Amino acid sequence: MKTQSPDTLSVRILAFGIAKDILEDNVIWMDLEPGSKVSDLKSALMEAFPAFEKLQYVRFAINESYVTDDEIILPDDEIAIIPPVSGG
């Protein structure tokens, strides 16, 4: 786990599919303010990776459960970005 200061929430993000391509890795770390929500993380991702804005239909999961944009991110949460999948 990455060391955190009291003013920073360092989050580990797992990326799959097209999200992995845009983030150029399957695991990244981002620093957010404590009390940040998933919507804040999305904004930070769009700022750091402008192409992320194209991913309108990705879902976010925290600790293996899908969440809404209002979900507060806590220390030690595992965040996953999951693009839509199709089957045949």
CATH fold label, 9-82? Ubiquitin-like (UB roll) (3.10.20)
21 backbone dihedrals φ, ψ, rounded to 5° = -65, -45
pLDDT of amino acid 29? 96
Asked if 37 and 22 touch (Cβ cutoff 8 Å), the reply is: no
77's CB contacts (< 8 A; 6+ apart) are 11, 62, 63
Q: Is the pLDDT of residue 82 over 60?
A: yes
Confidence (pTM): 0.87
Name residue 23's amino acid.
L
Specify whether the CB–CB gap between 15 and 23 falls below 8 A: yes
> In the block, which residue shows the tokens 């904004």?
43
Residue 85 has pLDDT above 90, yes or no: no
| pLDDT tens, residue by residue, 5-29 | 668 999 999 999 999 999 999 999 9
Residue in this structure with the two tokens 């402008």, named with its chain if needed: 50
What number of residues does the chain have? 88
> How far is the C-alpha of 43 from the C-alpha of 50, rounded, in Å?
10
